[in-house]
Every structure is written in C-alpha cells, then in structure tokens.
Structure 1
Amino acid sequence: MIFGRVKPLDAILATAEKKSLHRSLGAFQLTMLGIGAVIGTGIFVLTAEAAQKAGPGMMVSFVIAGFVCAVAALCYAEMAAMVPVSGSAYTYSYAVMGELVAWMVGWALILEYAIAAGAVSVGWSGYMMGFIQNNFGIVVPLQLIRGPFDGGMINLPAMAVAAIVTALLVKGTKESASVNAILVGIKILALAMFVIVTIPVLKTGQFTPFAPLGFAGISGAAASIFFAYVGFDAVSTAAEETKNPQRNMPIGLIGSLAICTIFYMLVAAGVIGTVGAQPVYGPGGEVLSPGTPALSQACSALTEQAVVCSKEALAWTLRSIGHPFLGWLVGAAAIIALPSVILMMMFGQTRIFFVMSRDGLLPEFFSRVHPKFHTPHVITVLTGIFVSLFAAFFPVGLLADVSNSGTLFAFAAVSIAVLVLRRTDPTRHRPFRTPAIMVTAPIAIAGCLYLFVSLSGPTIALFFGWAVVGLVVYYSYSRSRSHVGRGLVDVPEIDADAPPQPVPPIGDAHTPGYKDA
C-alpha cells in the first residue's frame, strides 16, 4: 500500500520534547536570517543562464520563482514547527504519508543537495578562473575548466574545490555562526555595490525586446532561477525558536523573500540595462540551450562578447562598463563566499543519508562515525566523490535544473503532507498554522508543478529516471530492511546510540507514542 508504514509522529516528536528551545527570534531577526540564507549562489552564477532563456524577461522570472517559494515556505513552516527534528521533508513525509513517499522524497533530496553542491562548485570555478585570467594573465585551456557538455573535457577547479570541502567535512571543520555572518555580509555588500554602480547608468533601450523567447522562456528561466532561492527554508526551521510564530513567521518568510526578490530584480536590471541580456542564437537563428557546446561555439564566433557567454556574469558586467576594480571585488567575494555554500549543501546531504541509514532504508555503514573525528565519514566521502564527478563533467545550468527538480518534488510533498495532516490529525498542537491552508497549499503544489514542467525535457527525463532507480533500490533492498517494516521504531535522535525499540502490540493504547500504522 502506497501510504503504508507510517512512522509514528509521536515517536518522532519525542526528540523535540526532550529539548527546550528558547523563543527569542522576532520578525526582524527572521527576516535577516532568511536574507542571509537566500542571497548568494544563484544570483552570482545563474544570471547568464537566465538571460539566455528569457532575455530581459528574467526579471519576471525572479518574481514567479519568489512567489512559489513564498507559498511553499508557509506550508513548510507548519511542518517544521510541529516536527522540529532532523530529516527535513523526508521526516515529515514519513510521519504523514508513509515510508514509500518518504523514501522517494529522501531520494529526491539527493538531487537537491548533492547536485546543488556540484552546481555551486562549477559556479565557483567560473569566478576563480575569470579572476586568475583577468588579474594574473594566466589563461587555462577551456578543456581543463569546462565539462564536455560545455565545450571542454573536465572542470578540474570545480572538482578540486568539492574535494577540499569533503576533506573539511570529514575532519569535522564546520563554519561558525560568526564566520557565516561575515560571509553573508560579504555577499550582500558585493551585490549592493553592483546595484549602486549599475542602476544609475542603465539604458532603457536595452530592455527591448523584453521577452524575445516568449512566456515559455520566462517560465524556463523561473524554473532555473528557483535555485537562487534555495535556503529560504532556513526560516521555516526556526519556528520553534520564534516569539509569537503565528505573526512573526509569515512576516519573516514573506519579508525575506520579498526583499531578496527586489534585490535580485535590481541586480538583473543592472546587468540588462548596462551590457544587455539578449539570448545568443545559432547560425540559422535557432534557440540555443545554456551550457551546451553549440552555445559555446556561437559565443566564440561573436565579435563582441555577450553576458550569456560569461561564467562570472556580474564581475564581467562591471569590467565591461569600466569598473575593473569593482569587478575584481565582486569576483573575490564570490570566490570567498561560495565554498561555504558547498559545505552546507554537502553537510545537508550527509545528514539526510545519515537519518535514512538510521531508519534502515540505507546500509548501516552509511551511518558509521569516524573514531577520531566523530563525523559520518563513509557517507561524507561517498557524497564528496559524487559531487566532484558532477562538478567535473556537467555545466552549472544543467546541475541547477536537476537540483531544482528534486527540491520542487520535496516541497510539493511537504505541502501535500500539511493538507493531509490537517484532516487526519486536526487537534495536534501546531505552533504555527499555515494561513488559509485550503488556498495556500494547493497554490504551493500547483506552483511547484508549474516550475517542474517548465524545466527542460532532458532534466525532467533525468528526474524520472532517477525516481525509477530509487524505486528499484527501495523494493530490492530498503523495504525488507526498514526498521518500521520490521516492527521497530527508532528512538529519538538524542538517544541515537541505543538500539531500536519494538513497536508495542496492536491494541496497547496505553503505550506513549504508539499509533496503529
């Protein structure tokens, strides 16, 4: 049965009951948390990709992606407030819709985290190589800094930064809150400087034609730009530490996304209005997809370089309008800040694997902890190998799109879970309740579906291929070894070293945390 094997929500919530979180965050702190989590990778890396898909119409794409994120975040916040434990959408789905759905969500989250880390690695490589070339005059052959889909052979810098981050994670080196705050400040300062310099000199004529590839192009760019908002769920997971969450959570979520959307639109306007953002077409006037050898060839044939051809769009824009030093600063900011994003993506991936392994759905050795460093070294190394391979051979746009497919699936599943739980368990305590749930959740589900179908055909095919592989793994291995399926319920996270406890016999209504699944 597709919705069978529900992991008892009360057993999961036992973790939350054992920790007392101080409610100290107000609307302002939540908004700042959201801005810090969102602004970064996507806007630095994907501006050129969005321009190739939508031209100046990418400004509308930012609004569409931001709106879908907002309604999905409101649904996410209710689940995060009720189930404030590790596992994210995977745990929520397990508690509401059963093991098979939870497995597919966890399997999709691999696309979100691991492939997103690969995308950021490729974006970092573009800025690093541009920085080296423009400041030291060292020209590295394209074959060594781009993958085969992008006109090269292998992206060695992207592979190297992923390997370095993997080594740091194995050793247990994590960025502190203070270091993270500094890196967030650097990113925001760099983008603010870009806006201040470019907006006063933009030319309105650069905005026409506004949508050269029609609304389909704007939708496709929105599906890619969704990557620029990844991280907004950090606000949702802070629900347990929020004062008056019913009032402050929507303010923090909507406020941070609104500010980020406006910021992104100003950056996009600065690019469009100064250097233009029209797509590059093939010899016969055909539309070329970003990150393909055909686009690379078309770019190399141009007498005047275009922003869609740049791997460091913002730094390139500043240099093109006569601000080489500011271009240097923006490039340096990206080089400094992006590795921390790779680290957090890979950390999130290993955490999802760790929880799934502890539930018996993945081999037990995935959750082994290093005797010296006390980190899940096996799964960290495996994740690092895959991230390095993704970064070495695939272009940033393709990786971002594939990552988005997994994220959109997970957020749609959470939105469905909120609706289901409102009906099946209406009396459960909810520190935050999604406003107008019967409107908000369906809009979130429809928005995720809309962005999903707006992704490229190969991306959608790859997602479904990945899903089929996931089903094969589940039915051939995970289903028979699942702790819930074997009548075991994992103990709370705080007691993770203890053995799983048996589910009480059916009818034992006096046993705490028991629910007939």
Structure 2
Amino acid sequence: MPRIKSPHVLVAESGADRAGHGLKRTMGLFHLVCFGVGAIVGTGIFVGLSDSVAEAGPAVVVSFALAAVTCVFTAFAFAELGGAIPVSGSSYSFAYAGLGETTAFLVGWCLLLEYGVSVAAVAVGWSQYVNELLDGVLGIQLPHALSAGPGDGGAVNLPAVVVIALACVLLVRGVRESARATAAMAVLKLAVLVAFLAIGFTAFEDGNLSPFSPAGLGGIGAGTTAAFFSYIGFDAITTAGEEAKNPRRDIPLAILVCIGLVTVLYCAVALAAIGAIGGDEVGGRPAALSYVVDQVTGSTAGGAVVAFGAVVAIASVVLAVMYGQTRILMSMSRDGLVPRVFEKVSPRTATPVAGTLIVGAVFALPAAFAPLDAVVDLCTIGTLATMAVVNIAVLALRRREPSLARAFRVPLYPLTPVLGIACCLYLMYETGAETWIQFAVFLVAGAVVYALYGRRNSRLAATGGVTPDAAERAPREA
C-alpha cells in the first residue's frame, strides 16, 4: 500500500501558529493575482515569443490558445486542490494526499527541475534585456565575456547571478515586502505590454499574417510545446497556501484570473508583433519586442522602454518562482524527505532564510555557466508530468475524500481532469523521443535519491505523519 497522508493532516501540520513554522498570513487576493502574473509573465513573452513564432509562424496565436487550454484544465485541478488543501507544498502535497509518498517525492523532484531551469532560463533572459536597455539608454553594452555563459561564447553570465541574488535579498526580508515588490512589478510590466500593444497595432498589416501556418499542423504542435513554457509558473500561486489570508477562497480565484488574463495578453502581443513586422522578422530574434517597437517608431527610445519593462518583468518571475521553490522544499523537509535545513523559519523575518540562500546559490550556477537550451524541453516534460499527476490526484481524492471541504470544484467532473491528463500527455509526446529518454533517466535518479534518503527518513513512516498538535487540530480542519 502507498504511504498516503490525509489532506486534514497536511492542513493541520502546516498551521501558521505551529512552533518552528511561523509563516504569516499577509497575502490577499490582489497580492495573489499579482504573484501569479509575476510568476508567469516574463521570459515566455519577452524572450520565448520568438522561439514559438519560429515554429508556428502567425499561427502561434493558435499555439498559445492550445497551450492555454491545457493550462485551463489543469488550472481547474489546482484551483480545487489549492482551496481544499491550502498548504505550501503545491503539487507535491496534492500528490502526497492523492497518490502517496513515492509519487509525491518524484513530483517534488520534477518541481526542482521545473523551478530550477525556469529561474536559470529567466535570469539568462534578464541578462539579454539588461544589455538591450543599456544600449538604448546609454549606448553601451556589458562585455560579452561577462554577460553570457560558456555555451553562448562568454565566460560567466554575471547579470543572471545578480538578479537571483536580488531576489534572495527580497525573499529573506519577508513575505510582505516580497508581495509588495511583486505587485508593483506586475502592474508595471502589464502597463509596458499594454503600451507595446498600442504601438504594435498602429502598424498592423493583414498581409503580415500570411501565410498563417507556414509549417502546418506540425508547426502549430511544436509551437504549442514551445508556448507552454510561457505559462509555467501559475501553479506557484498554490505555494502561498500558508501565507494567504483566505486561501480556500482566494487561491482558486487567483489561479483562474491569472490564466485568463495571461492568455488574452499573450495572444494579443503575438498578433501585434507579427502584424507589425511579420513572422519572419519576429521568429528567432532575441529581445523581439524591443526590436518591434524600434522598427515601428524608427527610434531606439521606445525599445528601451520595452527593455525596461522586460527587465522588471523577468526579475519578478525570478522572485515568484524562487518563492515557490523554497515553500515546496519546506513542505518536503517537514515530511523528512529532504534535509531539515529547508523547514527552518527565521522568527525575525518569518521566512526560510537558510533554504532561500541555498536555493539561490544552487540556481545561480546554471544561470551563470550552463547552456540551458538542452534542458528546456526536459523542464517542459517534467512540468507536464506534474500537472498530469495533479489531475489524477483530483480523481483520487474525489473518490477517497468525498466530504473534503472544497471551496471550488472542477466543472464537468470527471471529464475536465481526464481532458487535462490527455492534453498533458499530448504535449509530452510532442517533446520528442530524446526528451523522453532524458526524463526517464531523471526519474530513475529521483527514485534512487528517494530510496537512499527520502524513504529512510520519512516522518510518515516513523510517526504516522501526525505530530501531537496536528492530531489535535486535524478534526477541526476537517
């Protein structure tokens, strides 16, 4: 039998008043929505748009819509479980309650990959736009040796390290400060993207959308897989379960608002960019949005404004994703599956200071030195696998815990989670055989780590997973 932890115990063990786990509930709905936008909107649209356009051409709008459909189905699942089990562990905790400890550990293992590669890739994208901003404002650029890793012909990507360090500083200062910074950055980058739309659509020409799908259905499918990377991060909202003021109501609502807002924004930006200068000009071009504005306005000033928005936007993604990673590691540490250093919370700042600094140091290494193109597909397939597991967890918990309090319920159950699983599997298939082999090796490595460390140190196995204070509170949480 799998080691399964009751949702009531998960909620009870994560109580904010519990000694040693003093997270504070300071985030309202607005902060959660801004946190979600902060986690999603960044490299995917400012940097990754050109990759998606290179695959699908103007039909990238369809690719974004298809990627959104996958996310919507899974967003429903996250909304149900995020409201019913409002804890910091996100997919990891949902898998623990629905499918058991082994699956939960492997989900946490995949989340390490998802968030680690995301932060590193985002930090590298930030470096590109820093150079674009410096060029537009001061007419200078950082030396290539210090602004690109060895894989890109440089020596070390210092700006990528700097943005990760800045995120660490904000995160260890406190959740309230981080939430305020994330909200301010989210509003600013939305304003910049709206300004981009206003500029791009003034130069819109129908002829730039033809041929609409130069690579056919295969190109749309490949573009959908590339576009999916742009949506990674919405699940980070559920990692704020222990720091939200009203998590059962606000987390489901924040997830759905974010997905709807981001989808409309992505499709509109793609249309404006391609309609202004054509898909061939956008596809494969670094800092594509700045280039579009420069071409439309005939000046580098507008591109510099977009570059500034990108610098802010991408920094907010680093902040939000690193926040989510530290909270997931905290949940895994509570369960004994990773070292206990990750569960320690500073009584002064109410944040996991040591865990945050470790995460920052580990994520900075690939951002500074490693070529990331080879592992982006691996990150995508790992993310899709965790999303499929969350949909399966909805099915499992509906059957095992029918009386569990659910502030939001997946519509058209069980069709919606089944479609969510199918969409995830389709996009996983599109990543190709080589990526599947890499993913299999990655999962085997995770299984070995679990067998050698996690299974032996599991508190669920040692104590039944219920501390005395959790056991006392569990009936009230139910």
TM-score norm. by structure 1 comes to 0.80
Q: CA deviation at 1:317?
A: 1.4
Q: Name which of 405, 415, 426 aligns with 2:381.
A: 405
Identity of aligned residues (%): 38
Corresponding position of 1:330: 306
Post-superposition Cα deviations, 1:111-148, rounded to whole Å, max 9, x if no partner, equal 12222111110111010011123332324444443334
Aligned-partner residue type, residue 5 of structure 1: R
Compared with structure 1, are the counterparts of its residues 122 and 457 closer, same or farther at alpha carbon in structure 2 (3 Å cutoff)?
A: farther
Deviates more, 1:340-349 or 1:256-265: 256-265
Contact 1:97–1:417 (Cα < 8 Å) also in 2: yes
- Equivalent residue for 1:203? 205
When structure 1 is superposed on structure 2, of 257-266 and 366-375 the one drifting more is: 366-375
User: How many pairs are equivalent?
Assistant: 466
Distance 1:456 1:59 in 2: 22
Instruction: Tell me how far apart the structure 2 counterparts of residues 30 and 379 of structure 1 sit (CA, whole Å).
Output: 22
The one-letter code matched in structure 2 to 1:344 is A
Residue in 1 that maps onto 2:11: 13
Q: Which has the higher helix share?
A: 2
Compared CA separation, residues 168 and 254, structure 1 to 2 (3 A): closer
| Matched letter for residue 412 of structure 2 | A
Cα pair 1:77 1:237 within 8 Å, conserved = no
Contact 1:119/1:395 (<8 A) preserved = no
Aligned to 1:455: 431
CA separation of 1:236 and 1:481: change in aligned 2, threshold 3 A: closer
Of the three residues 266, 282, 287, the one matched with 1:307 is 282
Distance 1:82 1:150 in 2: 45
Task: Specify the code of the residue in structure 2 equivalent to 1:316.
Answer: Y
- Answering whether residue 327 of structure 2 is matched by residue 351 of structure 1, we say yes
Q: AA paired with 1:9?
A: P
- Counterpart-to-counterpart distance in 1, 2:37 and 2:356: 28
Check the 8 A contact 2:84/2:405 in 1, yes or no. yes
Q: Which residue of structure 1 aligns with residue 20 of structure 2?
A: none
Task: Spell out, residue by residue over 1:65-102, the C-alpha distance to the aligned partner (whole angstroms, 9 max, x if none).
Answer: 11111111111111111111121111111112111000
What's the counterpart of residue 289 of structure 1? none
> CA separation of 1:204/1:342 partners in 2, compared to 1, >3 Å: closer, same or farther?
same
The answer to whether the 8 Å contact 2:95/2:390 transfers is yes
Q: Distance in 2 between matches of 1:117 and 1:368?
A: 23
Give the Cα separation in 2 of the matches to 1:512 and 1:249.
Answer: 22
One-letter amino acid of the counterpart of residue 359, structure 1 = D
Report the more deviating stretch, 165-174 or 52-61.
165-174
2:295 corresponds, among 307, 320, 336, to 320
Gaps of 5+ in 2: 18-23
CA shift, 1:242, in A, is 7.1
Change (3 A) 1:180 1:383: closer
Instruction: Assess if the C-alpha contact under 8 Å between 1:120 and 1:396 holds in 2.
Output: no
Aligned to 2:268: 266
Amino acid paired to 1:413: V
- Indicate conservation of the 8 Å contact 2:67/2:224, yes or no: yes
Q: Label 1:277 to 1:144 Cα distance change in 2 as closer, same or farther (>3 A).
A: farther
CA displacement at 1:437 relative to structure 2? 1.4
Which of these residues, 195, 218, 222, is aligned with residue 193 of structure 1?
Answer: 195
Q: CA deviation at 1:43?
A: 1.1
The answer to whether the Cα contact below 8 Å between 1:15 and 1:85 also exists between their aligned partners in 2 is no
Q: Which blocks of at least 5 consecutive residues in structure 1 are unaligned? A: 279-305, 502-510
CA distance in 1, matches of 2:62, 2:410: 26
Aligned to 1:90: 92
Offset from partner CA, 1:296-337 (integer Å, 9 cap, x none)? xxxxxxxxxx43443311112111222422211111112133
Secondary structure at 2:279 match in 1: coil
| Equivalent position of 1:162 in the other structure | 164
TM-score, length basis structure 2: 0.86
What is the match of residue 293 of structure 1?
Answer: none
Aligned residue identity for 1:90: Y
**CA contact under 8 A between 2:87 and 2:240: conserved in structure 1?**
no
**In 2, Cα distance between equivalents of 1:23 and 1:177:** 7
Letter paired with 1:319: D
1:364-443 mapped onto 2 (5 Å cutoff): 364-369=340-345, 375-394=351-370, 400-443=376-419
1:154-204 per-residue CA deviation (whole Å, 9 max, x = no partner) reads: 323213322343344445586344433221111111111111111121222
Letter in 1 for 2:121: A
Larger Rg: 1
How well do the aligned residues superpose, as a CA RMSD in angstroms?
Answer: 3.5
1:62–1:356 Cα change, 3 Å: same
How far residue 55 of structure 1 moved from its aligned partner, in angstroms, is 2.0
| Equivalent position of 1:473 in the other structure | 449
Output the amino acid matched with 1:190. Answer: V
Query: CA separation in 1, counterparts of 2:206 and 2:174?
Result: 50
Q: Specify whether residues 234 and 153 from structure 1 end up closer, same or farther in structure 2 by C-alpha distance, changes over 3 A only.
A: closer
Deviations 1:402-425 (A, max 9, x none): 433332222111100110111222
Query: Does the C-alpha gap of structure 1 residues 357 and 436 become closer, same or farther in structure 2, counting only changes over 3 Å?
Result: same
**Alpha-carbon contact 1:46-1:397 (below 8 Å) kept:** no
Give SS of 2:8's match: helix
What secondary structure sits across from 2:406 in the alignment? coil
Q: Which residue of 1 aligns with 2:218?
A: 216
* Structure 2 match to 1:120: 122
Once residues 291 and 158 of structure 2 are traced to their aligned partners in structure 1, the CA distance between those partners, rounded to angstroms, is 22
Alpha-carbon distance in 2 for matches of 1:354, 1:419 = 26
1:9-48 matches, within 5 Å, as: 9-14=7-12, 38-48=40-50
Contact 1:55 1:210 in 2 (8 A): yes
Q: For 1:121, what is the secondary structure of its paired residue?
A: helix
CA distance in 2, matches of 1:232, 1:366: 23
Aligned residue type for 1:310: R
Report the Cα distance in structure 2 between the residues aligned to 1:512 and 1:31, rounded to whole angstroms: 30
Superposed displacement of residue 47, structure 1: 0.9
Matched with 1:100 is 102
Alpha-carbon distance, 1:223 to partner: 1.8
